[in-house]
Amino acid sequence: MALPFPSLVIRKHELVPLGSFAEAQAAFLTPDTDSVARLATLLERHRVGVVAHFYMDPELQGVLSACPWPHLRISDSLLMADAAVEMVAAGVERVVVLGVDFMAENVRAMLDVAGYSGVPVYRVAADPIGCSLAEAAESPAYAAYLARASEVPRSLHVIYINTSLRTKAHAHHRLPTITCTSSNVVHTVLQSFAQVPGAHVWFGPDTYMGENLAALFGGLEQLSDATITALHPHFDRQSLARVLDRFHFFGQGTCVVHHLFGAAVVDIVERDYADCYVTAHFEVPGEMFRVALAAQQRGRGVVGSTANILSFIGDRVKEQATTGRGARLRFVLGTEAGMITSIVRRVQVLLAASGRDDLEAEIIFPVAQEAILRTEDRELVIVPGVSGGEGCSTAGGCATCPYMKMNSLDALFDVLAALDRPSERLVALFPRTYPERVGARSVAELGGEPILHMRHLQRNGVLSDALVHDICTRNIAVA
C-alpha cells in the first residue's frame, strides 16, 4: 500500500522519486549542462558572487550547485551575509542575493560594516520579495509588544534575524536588541539569563519558535542537572525554573510554510512513519516540534536550523556507512522542500566516498491535508493546492515558500545579462534603503547593531559589555 506522503530515495548514482511532488523536485537535480556553462561564463565575466538560501526552487538550486564558479554559496540566512563578505574579500565585484528582501538587506549591511560599501548588491526582482514573519514584526501588534517590553526593567529583545533592518533599528531604539538564528537562539536566551541577573527576554516575531522554546525550557526541568548543565553550564533544574517566567514571546507571527506542519501532518507522521528519523525546523508548530524533540531525545531526530537538519542527515548516513550493514535510512523533512537539493548533494557525496551500493536515504515530504482542494466539478473532484494558494506547488506539495520562489533561474540570467548594459533597471534591484533616521542614527547603522551583538556572542560565547550595560540601564520606552 502506498504511503500518504511523497518521498525521494537517494542512491549513490540514482534518484527514485515516489509521488508527483517528489518527481517535481527530482526533475531538476540533474541540471541542464548548457545552463550551467552559461551561468559560469556570466559570473566570471562580471566577477559576480551569488549567495542563495536553501529554500530556492530546485531548478535554480540544481544549476547553482553544479556551477564550477567558486563564488557561490547555498546556505541559511546568517551564512549568506558571511559568504558575501568572503567573496568580496576574494575579489568579487558584485553580489546577487537569491532570497527574500531582508536577506539582501542583511548582506548589504554586513558588507558596509566590513568596509565594502562600494560593492553593489542585487536582488533578482524589482517587486518586493516579502516574508510573512518579517511583515508580522512590522505590525501594530508587534509595536505594542515592544512597548510593553520596554517598560520592564532589564529587558532584552531577542529578534529573529528574518526581519528587516528597519524593524531591527526601531526595536533597538526602543529597547536593547540582539538578533538570533534558529541554530543559536537557545544559547542566546540562556546566556542572557545567565549573564544578566533578573533579565527578561522578549522573543519575536515567530510565535511557533517562541512556543517551542518555552516548551523546551519547561521540558528541561524534567531532565537531570547534568543534562541541563551540559546544555549551559550556568543552569541546573532549580536555577532554570527561576527564569522561565521571565521568558516572553510574541503571539501573532507565523511562517506560511512551517505553519503547514500542524496536527493533521503529525497524526500521519506518528501513524505511518514511526520508524523514521524526524527532522523539524524550530519554526514548526508545537505538534511537529514535540514529535521531533522526542525523536531527538531518543537519538532519532533533530530540531534546529536548516544547517542543523542538513548536518543531522549527513551524520546518520556517515555512521551507517561505517557499520557494514546495508540499509535505507528514512527521514521526515520538517521544513521547506527546497532543502532537498543540498540534502541530495551531501548524501550522494557521502555514499560515493563510502563505496557502498547497499546504502540509501529516503527523504519524506510531509504534505498537509490542505494540499488537496475539493471542487464542485463532478469529473475533476480534487485539484492540487489550497484555496489560498500560499505554500503549495502545482505538483501538490505544500512545504514550499511562495516568496522564495520569486527567485528563478530566468530572473538570475536577466540580472546578469543586464550587467552588460547598466541601466536604471539595475537600480530597482538594489536592497531596500531607508532614508529616515531613528533618533540620531541611520536605519542601516542602528539596524545593523543587533546583528553585531549576535556576532560578538558567537565569537566570544558571552554578550558584549556594551549590550549588558544597555540592558541594565534602559528600562523605559523611548519616545
The CATH classification number of 33-129+406-427 equals: 3.40.50.10800
Q: Which amino acid is at 466?
A: A
Residues 6+ apart with CB under 8 A from 441: 169
Q: Using 50, 70 and 90 to split pLDDT, how confident is the model at 393?
A: very low
Best CA proximity match to 120, nearest among 58, 23, 48: 48
Q: Which residue has the higher pLDDT, 66 or 387?
A: 66
Confirm if 407 and 64 have CB atoms less than 8 A apart: no
Q: Does position 390 have pLDDT exceeding 50, yes or no?
A: no
% residues pLDDT > 70 (the chain): 88
Cβ-based neighbour number of residue 17 at 10 Å = 17
Best CA proximity match to 68, nearest among 43, 95, 87: 43
What's the whole-number mean pLDDT along residues 21-42? 88
What's the whole-number mean pLDDT along residues 396-412? 70
Angle at 418 between CA 412 and CA 424, to 5 degrees: 115
Q: Does position 444 have pLDDT exceeding 80, yes or no?
A: yes
CA distance 188 to 220: 16
Domain 7-26+256-367 has CATH 3.40.50.740: no
Q: Which residue has the higher pLDDT, 373 or 216?
A: 216
Q: Quote the mean pLDDT of the chain.
A: 84
CA distance 419 to 421: 5
pTM of the shown model = 0.77
Q: Does position 396 have pLDDT exceeding 70, yes or no?
A: no
Cβ-based neighbour number of residue 326 at 10 Å = 11
Confirm if 101 and 432 have CB atoms less than 8 A apart: yes
* pLDDT value of residue 370: 45
What's the whole-number mean pLDDT along residues 290-310? 88
* pLDDT value of residue 337: 77
212-247 tens-digit pLDDT: 888 888 887 777 888 888 888 999 888 888 899 999
Q: Does position 102 have pLDDT exceeding 50, yes or no?
A: yes
**Ranges of each domain in the chain:** 7-26+256-367, 33-129+406-427, 132-254+435-473
Confirm if 55 and 404 have CB atoms less than 8 A apart: yes
Confirm if 338 and 58 have CB atoms less than 8 A apart: yes
- DSSP for residue 432: P
Best CA proximity match to 86, nearest among 131, 138, 137, 51: 51
The grid coordinates listed for 150 are 520596554
Q: Using 50, 70 and 90 to split pLDDT, how confident is the model at 178?
A: very high
* pLDDT value of residue 219: 80
41-63 tens-digit pLDDT: 999 999 999 999 887 777 888 89
Q: Does position 288 have pLDDT exceeding 60, yes or no?
A: yes
Do the first three CATH levels of 7-26+256-367 and 33-129+406-427 match, i.e. the same topology? yes
Q: Using 50, 70 and 90 to split pLDDT, how confident is the model at 387?
A: very low
Q: Does position 256 have pLDDT exceeding 80, yes or no?
A: no
* pLDDT value of residue 402: 66
Residues 6+ apart with CB under 8 A from 132: 253, 254, 255, 256, 403
What's the whole-number mean pLDDT along residues 403-414? 84
Q: Using 50, 70 and 90 to split pLDDT, how confident is the model at 311?
A: very high
Q: Using 50, 70 and 90 to split pLDDT, how confident is the model at 170?
A: very high
Q: Using 50, 70 and 90 to split pLDDT, how confident is the model at 136?
A: confident
CA distance 321 to 343: 16
* pLDDT value of residue 211: 84
* pLDDT value of residue 259: 55
Whose cell is 541611520? That residue is: 442
CA distance 169 to 444: 8
Our measurement of the distance from residue 241's CA atom to the centroid of its chain's CA atoms, rounded to an integer in Å, reads: 29
Q: Does position 366 have pLDDT exceeding 90, yes or no?
A: no
Orientation of helix 207-220 relative to helix 286-297, angle to 10°:
40
